[in-house]
Amino acid sequence: MFVIATWLVAAIIQSLLSISNIFALPVSDVLTPNVIRSVLTQTGIGKLFLSQFIALGIALLLATRMGTAHQARTALLVVLGANFIPALGGHSGLAKNHELAASTMAVHLLSLSIWVGTLIAMTMWFHKITLGREVAAHRFSQLALFCYFAVALSGVTNAWLRLSGFSDILSSRYGQMVVVKVLLSITIGYFAYLNRQRTIQAVAEIRFPTRLVIGEIILISITLGVAVILARTGFPTQDSSSLPSLAEQLLQVSVPDGLTFVSALTSFKPDALWLIIELLACIAYARGVQRLKGKWPVKNATAFAGAILMLTYATSGGLGVYSHIIFSAHMIQHMMLALAIPILFVFARPLTMAKQLQEANPEFIGPIDWYVSAYQSRFWTFITRPMNLVAFSFIGYVGIYFTQVFDWLMSGHWGHVAMQVYLLTYGYALMWSVIGIDGASDGVTKTQIFLLLITEPIHIIFGISLLFYNKIIGEANYLIMDRPYLQDLAHDQKVGGILSLVIGETLIAGTLMYLVRVKNKGTHPISRFSEHSP
């Protein structure tokens, strides 16, 4: 609680100093309610400060009533959210490829806080752990290793985006500071390696290698100082001719040069955040398949691979690239995220896999248990209630596109990411409930068919409305982008409507046929098959 309170106070002081810096006025002059109110509510940086204050305020409230592991997890999520907010703006917005700059910065800050936070927690409480010390030490060292590489990789990628070539590394002040950070990080890595060795011995001795850890924490603090200076140092590509275009500055979206069949298929612009999520999901699933000793059905694993490939294409591949700037491409992405990918994920049956792993090793409590308990949480129960799923469907189509919400979400990279998260989460919850194959039900009930049949008209009405709607959805943003192709926005919107109808209805009809087949047979064919698998 004390740490969060200190963080909140520091964030408030930092915001005041930043406002004074922006207006080039002494702090005492900006300390007026009018200036503070207008900066916090009307400027991009002010809104970020305000969001961080709110997140920290919530975290502080949660910290006062922390009694259970569930409450601790909720507080942790809010704190990580507060930590993630600075990545949404600031220096990354000025980099040439700022979608990648912003997402690598988010990965940098999130993995850094998980790593350093866990290190401090282990130093403070390791000696108090009585049960499961070995598991804690093992998990800590795995987590720290993973986070360390995530920090280094995201840091190097982010730095590279701000340099115009190798020559900038030593010739610019920014490049030199990056070199200092890399050297410090290598030294920290060496300390961490020594810690890792000693921690394994420490399990028997009930204490953490405190002296080494303190050395590591001092080095981390120095690196943090260098990071803050780096973030305030102009970088080479910032003041060269490669300044971001208007669309890049306002929407944080870069407009790809040409649209051809080949470029739509082969373009690739990594979205670090999604790539990390995909990588973690792949590692977890592959380990599951391995631990079930090859008895996991190939068709489930194939569905998983298909879902991951499709998600990568929809977020970092050609579809991800063009979905930011072309409405019809955005519509295909919508159908992929809300229907196709969730269907494949359900057929991959990750929950069934997790339950089988739990049964195979009931004493081991870890991420698998958290994963399984997420399906029993109030959040999941709430979002999978049939009437709520219908409401989310309505929001996903009418609520987003026929209000100002679409314009607002498309007016920045993170709005687009938020929309992707919404569509994928709601789509997965819907398909998990409707298909039922991954632990939602044994056979097919009327509710499942009803749920699919009631969301279908919403989808059909949406697609037809797009064909006849005479207002251009997201017009202001598309005009700012001023893309050199597909400039007839009204026509593109109609194409979007047709694509949404064709893709969406094909997927819904396919799912319905599957349900009817299963209903006629009695139970899910895959459930019967894999009950005896592991």
What DSSP line would sit under 36-92, residue for residue?
HHHHHHHSHHHHHHHHHHHHHHHHHHHHHT--SHHHHHHHHHHHHHHHHGGGGSGGG
Mark the segment that binds ligand HEM (CB under 6 A) among 69-77, 151-159, 304-312, 452-460: 151-159
Q: Which member of 79, 82, 230, 466 binds ligand HEM (CB under 6 A)?
A: 230
Residue with tokens 């704190």: 79
Least separation in angstroms between CB 413 and ligand HEM:
16
**Nearest distance in Å: CB 75, ligand HEM:** 21
Nearer to ligand HEM, 115 or 313 (CB): 115
Taking a C-beta distance cutoff of 8 angstroms, is the pair 219, 188 a contact? yes
Q: Is residue 159 part of the contact set for ligand HEM (CB under 6 A)?
A: yes
Shortest CA distance to 118 belongs to which of 143, 135, 138?
143
- Of 151 and 451, the one with the shorter C-beta distance to ligand HEM is 151
Contact between 476 and 325 under an 8 Å Cβ cutoff? The reply is no
Binding mask 51-90 for ligand HEM (x = CB under 6 A): -----------------------------------x----
**CA distances in angstroms from 355 to 350, 369, 371, 373, 524, listed in the order given:** 9, 9, 9, 10, 17
Smallest separation, CB 172 to ligand HEM (Å)? 12
Number of residues that bind ligand HEM (CB under 6 A): 23
Torsion 125-128-132-135 (CA) sign = positive
| Residue from 145, 231, 284, 464 binding ligand HEM (CB under 6 A) | 231
On whether the CB atoms of residues 264 and 310 are closer than 8 A, the answer is no
Q: Does 156 bind ligand HEM (CB under 6 A)?
A: yes
CA dihedral 240, 242, 243, 249 (to 10 degrees): -160
Q: What is the dihedral of CA 133, 135, 137, 143, to 10 degrees?
A: -150
In the DSSP assignment, the letter for residue 94 is G
The pattern of x and - marking residues 189 through 228 that bind ligand HEM according to CB under 6 A reads -------------------------------x--xx--xx
Residue 141 C-beta: closest distance to ligand HEM, Å: 17
- CB-based contacts of 506, cutoff 8 Å, min separation 6: none
- Region near ligand HEM per CB under 6 A, out of 25-33, 177-185, 274-282, 322-330: 177-185
47 vs 291 by CB, closer to ligand HEM: 47
Distance in Å, CB of 163 to ligand HEM, minimum: 9
Kindly state whether residue 172 participates in binding ligand HEM, applying the rule CB under 6 A: no
Confirm or reject binding of residue 45 to ligand HEM (CB under 6 A).
no
Pick from 4, 91, 317, 343: which binds ligand HEM (CB under 6 A)? 91
- Site map for ligand HEM, 93-112, x if CB under 6 A? ---------------x---x
Torsion of CA 290, 292, 295, 301, to 10 degrees: -60
HEC readout, 388-400: HHHHHHHHHHHHH
CB of 175 to ligand HEM, least distance (A): 10
151 near ligand HEM, judged by CB under 6 A: yes
Smallest gap, in angstroms, from Cβ of residue 306 to ligand HEM?
34
Tokens (6 digits) for 275: 């790539």
Q: For residue 384, what is the enclosing H or E element? A: none
Alpha carbon distance 299, 314 (integer Å): 22
152 binds ligand HEM (CB under 6 A): yes
Our CB check for ligand HEM shows the closer of 154 and 393 to be 154
Cβ closer to ligand HEM: 11 or 112? 112
Closest by CA to 459, choosing from 401, 374, 527, 514, is: 401
Q: How many CB atoms lie within 10 A of CB 484?
A: 10
Please report, as ranges, the residues that interact with ligand HEM according to CB under 6 A. 86, 91, 108, 112, 151-152, 155-156, 158-159, 178, 181-182, 185, 188, 220, 223-224, 227-228, 230-231, 235
